[in-house]
Amino acid sequence: MRALLVVLVLGVAATANAGQRSDVIDQPAAFGIAERGSLKVVSVVRVERRGGEMKGVWLDDDARCLDRRTLRVSLQIDLVSPAGKTTRVRRSRQGTVDNCAEGGPNFGYDLTPKAYGMACANGNWKPGRYAMTTKTTHIRSGVSAQASLYHQVTRRC
């Protein structure tokens, strides 16, 4: 139930922000949720014109909100340029994360295209086809959720 609430909260927040910022209108996002008993593990890939996020979270109604568990969040971004050249970026991070994350997935990576060598001079994502995957693993149980997003940037730098 809490995972559904997280997705709904994120959807409402994105809709509210869309009226204020033109760079988030119609920008793609993908979520993945895995469950075992009361434990839910959530992954997200969200892309904006000049960034985005690839993050994860764990939620468990049977645990206290201040309980902490170790998560590993891994990302992979593949960019196929219009010329057919593929660039791949992989990152992985592990750390302790609180239960009851309000606002959704909160541990992982805030994206900036420049940090991954995938930016135009103005900071936008380079043209091409992107395959972006976030995998979140709850270390103690081994439960993992994966979110994948395929996105094409057609505008020139």
Instruction: Tell me the per-residue pLDDT of 64-79, one tens digit each, with 9 for 90 and over.
Output: 999 999 999 999 999 9
| pLDDT at 25 (0 to 100) | 56
24: Cβ–Cβ under 8 A, 6 or more apart, which residues?
Answer: 14, 17, 18, 48, 49
The parent domain of residue 144 ranges over 2-153
Domain count, the chain: 1
Q: Residue 58 has which token pair? A: 């764990």
Contact 128/80 with Cβ under 8 angstroms? Answer: yes
Dihedral sign from CA coordinates of 43, 48, 52, 57 = negative
For residue range 10-40, what is the model confidence (pLDDT) as tens digits? 443 443 344 444 444 578 999 999 999 999 9
Q: What percentage of residues in the chain have a pLDDT greater than 90?
A: 78
Pairing of strands 128-138, 107-111: unpaired
- Model confidence at 92: pLDDT above 60: yes
Contact 59/3 with Cβ under 8 angstroms? Answer: yes
Edge-to-edge strand ranges of the sheet holding 39-48 = 29-36, 39-48, 51-60, 107-111
- Model confidence at 113: pLDDT above 80: yes
Contact 131/34 with Cβ under 8 angstroms? Answer: no
